[in-house]
Chain A
Amino acid sequence: MAIIEADDINVTLGGLPILRSVTLSVEPGEAVALLGANGSGKTTLMRALLGLYPLSHGEVKLFGTELSHFRQWNRLGYVPQRASVKVPQATVREIVSTGVLSSLKPFQHIGKREKARIDGAIEEVGLEQKANQPIKELSGGQQQRALIARALAGHPELLMMDEPFAGVDLDVQASLAELLGKLKKQGKTLLIVLHELGAMRSVLDRAVSLRGGRVLAGVDETHAHHETEPVEEPDIFGREGLE
C-alpha cells in the first residue's frame, strides 16, 4: 500500500487551474524530492495532499485512506514553506510542543513521553540553546529549524516538508540531511520540496519534477543519487506560470 497516493488531481485557485492531472505515489520508506521552478505548483501540490486546498478533480489517499476520511494525523509531520507562526513571543519550545498534539486528546496533558519527544526534536535540529527564546528573536534559518523540530516532535512515519532548508546555513543543511537520512534508515517516508538537491542528494531515492502544474514525464524514475549523471534540476528556460 502506498503512503501517499494522488490520482489524477486538479487544483483550481482563484479561478485558475494550478495543478493539472497530477498523479503521484510514494511507497513506504521512500525518500522523494519534489522539484520545479518557482510557481510550478510544488507548494500547491503539498497543500492539496494535506487537504489544505480543495481538489477540483481526482482523489488523494494518505496511508490508504481517502483524505476526507483520514483521521490518523499523528502519522505525518508537515513543515510548511516559510515561517508562518503568528505568535511572535511564543518560545521555540512552545511552538515545537504543538507537534505532539495530533496524538493527544482534548484536556489531555503533555506527559513524560511527549516531553521527551519535544526535547529530543529540539536537540536534533540543534536549537537546545534557543529553546526558551521567543521565535521572533531567531534568524530565518533557525525559525525554519524550529518548524522542522515541530514536525519531528510527533515521531511521524511520514514527513512532508516544503523547502525545509530555505535560509538555513550550508553546514546546518548538511547535518539536517544527515538527520533525515537517519530517519529514512529507520523506515520513515519522506516527501520533500527542494530548490536544489544539495546535501539531500545521497538521501533521496528519486525526484519528481513539476512544470506549470504538471508532472514532467519520464523524470519520475530518475534516481537522484546516480553517480555520474547530473540530477534533474529544474530547467529555468521555458518555465511556465511564474510567481
Chain B
Amino acid sequence: MIFTLEFMQRALIAAAIAGVVSPTVGAFIVQRRLSLLGDGLGHVAIAGVGLALATGMAPLPVAVVVAILGAVIIELLRSSGRASADTAMAVIFYGGLATGILLAGMVGQGAGTLSSYLFGSLLSVEALDIWLIGILGAAIVVLVFGLFKQLFAVSSDEDYAHTLGLNVRFYNLLIVVLAACTITVSMRTVGLLMVSALMVVPVAASNNLTRGFSRSVLVAMGLGLFSALAGVIGSFYLDAPPGSLIVVITIICFVISLPLGKQLLRRRRGLQVVEAVEPPPPHIPADEDCEHVHGPGCGHRAVIHGSHVDYLVDGHRHAEHEGHYDEH
C-alpha cells in the first residue's frame, strides 16, 4: 500500500498543501493578467536553488528569499510602466534560470539533482521541507483570506480601490510576493518549471464552471487539491516526475470544463425570463411653428442627443428627420 510508505506520505502532504494554496493566489494572478509572471518567478527561484546547492544551504529557504526578492523587483519594474520593463523582466527570468543551472553545474550537482527541483520528485521531500511548506502554506492562506475583499477590490478596479483608501501599491506588491511564496510551496512536488500551471489552470477551469469570484476560488482549490493528489499517486505507478502528471491532470480538468461550462450556462439561461426589447421612440413630427432650418447660429440652442443634434425650441427638442423636425 503506497500510503504506508513514509516518502509517499510526505509527498502527498506536500502536494495537498500545494494544490490547495496555489489556486488561491492564482485567482488574483489571473485577474491581474499576470499568468506568466508566476512562470517567471519560478525561473528566478531556480537561481535560489542553484545558490543553495552551490553553498550547501537548504534549497527551500534560499529559494523563498530569492523568489520574494525577484517578485519585489519585478513588481516595481512593472508598476513603473516603463517600456523597458518588459525586457528587464525577461532578463531577470532567464538570468535566474541560467544562473541556477550554472551554479548547480559548477559544484558537480548536475542536471540530476537540479531536475528534481525543476520537475518535482516524490523521493526528495524531506521532513524539514514539510514543516516549511506547511508554515508557508498556512501563512499564505491566512493572508489571502484575511485580505480577500481588499485583494479582490484592488484586482477588480484599481482606481476605485484607491478611492476606498486602500493602499493599492501595497496590495499589488503583496499579490506578487504571495505568488513567490506559493512557488516555493509547490516546487518540491510540481517543480519550478510548471508551478505556475497549478496556480493558473485550475482557476481557468473553475471560471468556466462557476459564477461569482469567491465560489470560483473555492472550486479552483478543490480542483487543485484533486490534481495534486491524483498526480502524485499516478506518478508513483507510472514512475514519472509528479509535476508533469499534475499539470496534465489540471489541463484535462480545464478541457472538460469547456463543454461542461457551456452546458451549465445554457441550463441557467433557459430558466431566465427574456427581457422585453424597448420599442423605438414614437415618430412625432414637430409643430409647424418652426419655419426655418436649424443650424449653427440659428438662434436655437443645440444639444447633442446620442448620435445627432437637437435644437431647443420653447423647451422642446427638435431633431432633423427627412426634411422636417421631430420632437425628441
Contact = CB atoms under 8 A, between A and B. Distances in A.
Interface stretch (A17-25, A173-181, A210-218, A232-240): A232-240
B214 interface: yes
B130 interface: no
Contact of A89 (B32, B216, B315): B216
Contact of B312 (A85, A87, A230): A230
A90 B157 CA distance: 12
A9 B213 CA distance: 40
B31 A150 contact: no
A91 B156 CA distance: 12
Contacts of B153: 98, 101
Interface centre among A76, A87, A104 (most CB of B within 10 A): A87
A165 B222 CA distance: 41
B165 interface: yes
B301 interface: yes
Interface stretch (B6-14, B49-57, B236-244, B303-311): B303-311
A37 B303 CA distance: 10
Contacts of B131: none
Contacts of A52: 159, 162-163
A91 B215 CA distance: 10
Contacts of A74: 165
Nearest to B30: A87
Interface string B23-36: 00000000110000
A72 B165 CA distance: 8
Given A91-B213, A97-B149, A236 B162 contact: no
Contacts of A235: 301-302
Given A91-B211, A94-B212, A235-B301, A86 B152 contact: no
Contacts of B160: 78, 80, 84, 98, 150
B68 to A, nearest CB: 20
A95 B161 CA distance: 11
B250 interface: no
B304 to A, nearest CB: 6
A84 B159 contact: yes
Contacts of A47: 159
Contacts of A154: 164
A72 B155 CA distance: 22
A9 B31 CA distance: 35
B155 A106 contact: no
B207 interface: yes
Contact of A71 (B149, B165, B315): B165
Given A91-B213, A196-B305, A230-B312, A85 B162 contact: no
Given A87-B152, A87-B156, A90-B156, A73 B304 contact: no
B166 interface: yes
B146 interface: yes
Contacts of A98: 149, 152-153, 156-157, 160-161, 164
A39 interface: no
Contact of B212 (A76, A80, A132, A234): A132
A12 interface: no
**Chain A interface size range:** 35 or more
A47 B159 CA distance: 9
Contact of B303 (A97, A107, A150, A233): A233
A116 interface: no
A230 B166 contact: no
Contacts of B147: 106-107
Interface in B277-328: 278, 296-297, 301-305, 309, 312, 315
Indicate the member of B147, B212, B297, B302 with the most A CB atoms within 10 Å.
B212
A106 B146 contact: yes
A195 interface: yes
Contacts of A99: 164
A71 B200 CA distance: 36
B150 interface: yes
Given A102-B164, A106-B146, A230-B315, A236 B213 contact: no
Contacts of B32: 86
B124 interface: no
A101 B304 contact: no
B210 interface: yes
Nearest to B210: A89
Interface string B232-266: 00000000000000000000000000000000000
Please provide the 10 A-B residue pairs with the shortest distance between their CB atoms, ordered closest to farther. A73-B165, A98-B153, A87-B156, A107-B146, A90-B213, A102-B164, A78-B163, A91-B212, A101-B164, A134-B211
13 contacts: A73-B163, A85-B157, A86-B31, A90-B212, A91-B213, A107-B146, A154-B164, A233-B301, A233-B312, A235-B301, A236-B303, A237-B297, A237-B302
Interface of A: 37, 47, 50-52, 71-74, 76, 78, 80, 84-87, 89-91, 94-95, 97-99, 101-102, 104, 106-107, 110, 132-134, 150, 154, 169, 195-196, 230, 233-237
Interface of B: 31-32, 146-147, 149-150, 152-153, 155-157, 159-166, 207, 210-214, 216, 278, 296-297, 301-305, 309, 312, 315
